Structure 1
Amino acid sequence: MGLFGSAVAAAPAQESGNGLSGSEQARYLAGIQNLYLAKSERAALLEHCNQLLQTYALRAGYQVGQAAPRDLLYQLSLGAPGELLLREESRGQQGTDVSVRNRSLSVFGLDPYIRYDCPLSGIRCVLHNPADGTPLLSVLRDQQGAEELAKALSFLLRNLQQN
């Protein structure tokens, strides 16, 4: 698989070739929790994912030459136990044309590893829904940003599956 053009799994478990060992996982989670001064790993992971979604948001300004460029913004929140809520906001350049879509993802029984594509020819990276492989969300085409978001989101899904 090519570095940029193929689906890459951000796998926070040792089973994957690019996964983290147990001590690396613990350091990653402790670092995230310390970074956000959060009381729990779950709260820290949720905040980290939302910060990454804001940082790598696909903004209209990056969509030069695209017909009707729009800001595409996401925010994650927690629903019922085992449920992750995703708010998608699409906003036109003048900010008056806004549409909002809310979706929920039940994490129980899912493979928690988020896969993503960052095609060289496009302007976005797409993170895929682990339930059915359909697009879950799109962010600015930034390989490292998509990888970090997929990793943090994978850890969040695993955390939600535990309780």
Structure 2
Amino acid sequence: MAIVLGGALSAALPAVSSADQSKALQGDEQVVYLDGLKRLYLTGNERQALLAHSNALLETYALRAGYQVGQAQPEDLLYRFSVADTGELILREERRGAEGSAIAVHNQRLAVFGVDPFIRYECPTSGIRCVLFNPADGSPLLTIVRDHQGAGELAKALSFLIRNVQKG
């Protein structure tokens, strides 16, 4: 029965290559995703929604000192993105000691023109952290608590943010 139904459906539907299907799905997925973020953050601006979502995810999945049991010097790792000049993102990294006594802030500029917007990440099973990598050179960009789903969502949001900033 399943074979007959599959044959009937394939005959009734026009021939579409898998590449065409993935492009259509990505286009539809992008529209749905961005519209959902604009509704969630009550804005009509895609860039503002993507920044707000990325920064909310960075706060949610921040690697806090409390997760670093047994570490010699546990510290909070906090990140925040902002848009600088045309074609640039600024990543603010704040490191706080366990008691909040030592605070170090580092800003990194990310030029997005000419880079593949895809953000790669790794969440080793033996560790407490996930690392997201800089799309320009593959170096570690930021570290969050080990949460595969959270890292995936953050990578997706940052990929869309980079694409948006690349548009100018």
Q: Specify the TM-score bucket, using the shorter chain as the normaliser.
A: 0.7 to 0.9
* Distance (Å, rounded) in 2 between the aligned partners of 1:20 and 1:128: 25
* Distance (Å, rounded) in 1 between the aligned partners of 2:44 and 2:93: 27
- Give the greater-gyration-radius structure (CA): 2
* Distance (Å, rounded) in 2 between the aligned partners of 1:137 and 1:26: 27
1:65 aligns with 2:70: yes
Q: Could you report, residue by residue, the CA deviation over 1:69-116 in whole angstroms, capped at 9, with x for unpaired residues?
A: 000000000100110000000000111101010000000000000000
* Distance (Å, rounded) in 2 between the aligned partners of 1:93 and 1:122: 19
5 Å-filtered alignment, 1:96-135, equals 96-135=101-140
With structure 2 as the length reference, what TM-score do the two structures score?
Answer: 0.85
Q: Could you report, residue by residue, the CA deviation over 1:29-85 in whole angstroms, capped at 9, with x for unpaired residues?
A: 100111001231010000000000000000000001111000000000010011000
1:81 aligned to 80, 86, 99, which one? 86
2:45 aligned to 40, 46, 52, which one? 40
Instruction: Report the structure, 1 or 2, having the larger helix content.
Output: 2
* Distance (Å, rounded) in 1 between the aligned partners of 2:85 and 2:62: 26
* Distance (Å, rounded) in 2 between the aligned partners of 1:92 and 1:69: 7
Task: State the AA in 2 paired with 1:104.
Answer: R
- Deviation, 1:20, is 4.9
Query: RCO (CA 8 Å, sep 6+): is it higher in 1 or 2?
Result: 1
With structure 1 as the length reference, what TM-score do the two structures score?
Answer: 0.88
1:54 matched to which residue of 2?
A: 59
The number of equivalent residue pairs is: 148
| Structure 1 gaps, min length 5 | 1-13
Task: State the AA in 1 paired with 2:66.
Answer: G
* Distance (Å, rounded) in 2 between the aligned partners of 1:57 and 1:103: 18
| Structure 2 gaps, min length 5 | 1-18
Q: Equivalent residue of 2:104, what SS?
A: strand
Cα RMSD, aligned residues only = 1.6
1:159 aligns with 2:160: no
* Distance (Å, rounded) in 2 between the aligned partners of 1:136 and 1:116: 10
